[in-house]
Amino acid sequence: LITDVRLRRILDSRGNPTVEADVVTESGGFGRAAAPSGASTGEYEAVERPPSEAIAAAREEAVPRLVGEAYAGNQREVDAALHAADGTDDFSEIGANSAVAISMAAAKAGADVLGAPLFQHLGGAFRGQNFPIPLGNVVGGGEHAADATDIQEFLVAPVGAPSVEDAVFANATVHGTVADLLEERDVPCGKGDEGAWAPSIDDSEAFEIVDEAVSIVQDEVGFNIGFGLDVAGAELYDSETGTYEYSDRSRDTDEQIEYIAELVREYDLVYVEDPLDEDDYDAFADLTDEVGDQTLICGDDLFVTNTDRLVEGIDRGAANSILIKPNQIGTLTDAFDAIELATQNGYDPVISHRSGETEDTTIAHLAVATDAPFIKTGAVGGERTAKLNELIRIADDAT
């Protein structure tokens, strides 16, 4: 039984405040978790409130429905109490940031009571055998950096890696190799919000550099490393003109579909996230028709971890993969339901961090607990390596 829920403001990786929750149980269980925060957020996400307001509202509405009322180990009960406390369909009352922090902290307290690792509490006794392939962000721009690439994330996916440890190190090596190649070209640069290099180059040069870095590292490690993208299409799309605005030109929807399809073929892309606007299920479906058998077409802002939007996407053949961000929907239960629905319909779930992160490692456990084929959580930087290193530890404990 939950006996205490404490909420506080802590720092995220951008230096902004976010919500941290502690959940304590009668039998001495303890869980602590913090909400991440997006910069290129989807229009249909659950609502993040300013942390001080989210905390005040959650203390008033949610905490009394949990303390002495709910069991930390009963995740559906905890998350139903959060929904009841909120009373809206987008967590605009207590804030999705308070909700997700409490939901994840309760899961950790539930695991603590059982003396089980979080992935096992969430996934059951038979989980922990399969490990997700980490998608590592090595070059990026968009909303995550000023004056860098138009495409938000150039990702690498070590699909041939024999272990999660090899995969994590391969991504970091590609990240380092990209830096060497940039230096050779005399391109100075810093990093974006997710630790990817954020050079002031155009997308075609970024493709060249990442492609070259991948080949170099592939030869070095001896296994296959794939190339992927998060286009963050909604950020490029101008709804007034109906075009995708790049630094050097614009593309109408048909041109955007063709452009992405060409990129898939030219670079053998294994993963393409949000290639099109978050409202354009039809364009997503056209692209999926064209290249969906060669690559994952993943909906992030399109689906926002929301089962209603995923049902629509499944009906219309919009994609074959969904990004899962617990804070987009507000609770672990909702995230699990989205993963379940996706898997039943042949959509690959990809568990994801946000551009604003903390040291919280819940998503590493969520990915293992749900047998997700991929996890997207950066390549370097403390708030990213917190998750990557946790995956290495989970794998180490399992063997």
Q: Which residues are catalytic?
A: 194, 325
Interface residues with ligand PGA (CB under 6 A)? Answer: 38-41, 230, 232, 300, 352, 354-355
| Identity at 318, one-letter amino acid code | A
DSSP class of residue 154 equals E
250 is in an annotated binding site: no
How far is residue 83's CA from residue 325's CA, in Å, rounded to a whole number?
17
Q: In the bound complex, what is the minimum distance in angstroms from residue 49's beta carbon to Zn ion? A: 22
Phi, psi of 5 (to 5 degrees): -130, 120
How far is residue 173's CA from residue 380's CA, in Å, rounded to a whole number?
10
Q: In the bound complex, what is the minimum distance in angstroms from residue 40's beta carbon to Zn ion? A: 6
334 is in an annotated binding site: no
How many Cα atoms within 13 Å fall on the side-chain side of residue 67? Answer: 14
166 is in an annotated binding site: no
Interface residues with Zn ion (CB under 5 A)? Answer: 230, 273, 300
121 is in an annotated binding site: no
Dihedral in degrees, nearest 10, Cα atoms 155, 13, 191, 353: 10
- Proportion of the chain in helix, strand, coil states, percent, rounded to 5: 45, 20, 35
Alpha helices in the chain (DSSP H): 51-61, 63-66, 75-86, 96-114, 118-123, 164-184, 203-221, 233-236, 253-267, 281-291, 307-316, 326-329, 332-344, 362-369, 382-398
252 is in an annotated binding site: no
Q: In the bound complex, what is the minimum distance in angstroms from residue 183's beta carbon to Zn ion? A: 28
Positive or negative: CA dihedral 142, 144, 149, 151: negative
Q: In the bound complex, what is the minimum distance in angstroms from residue 352's beta carbon to ligand PGA? A: 6
Cβ closer to Zn ion: 57 or 155? 155
Cβ closer to ligand PGA: 331 or 352? 352
How far is residue 98's CA from residue 17's CA, in Å, rounded to a whole number?
12
Cβ closer to ligand PGA: 108 or 354? 354
- Among Zn ion, ligand PGA, none, the one that 354 touches (CB under a kind-dependent 5 to 8 A) is ligand PGA
- Among ligand PGA, Zn ion, none, the one that 355 touches (CB under a kind-dependent 5 to 8 A) is ligand PGA
Cβ closer to ligand PGA: 39 or 318? 39
- Among ligand PGA, Zn ion, none, the one that 41 touches (CB under a kind-dependent 5 to 8 A) is ligand PGA
- Among ligand PGA, Zn ion, none, the one that 39 touches (CB under a kind-dependent 5 to 8 A) is ligand PGA
Q: In the bound complex, what is the minimum distance in angstroms from residue 132's beta carbon to Zn ion? A: 17
Cβ closer to ligand PGA: 113 or 339? 339
352 is in an annotated binding site: yes
Spatial neighbors of 316 by CB under 8 A, at least 6 apart, are 281, 282, 284, 285
- Among ligand PGA, Zn ion, none, the one that 375 touches (CB under a kind-dependent 5 to 8 A) is none
Name the residue whose CB lies closest to ligand PGA.
38
CA distances from 77 to 30, 47, 122 (A): 17, 21, 14
- Binding residues for (2R)-2-phosphoglycerate, by number, are 152, 325, 354-355, 376
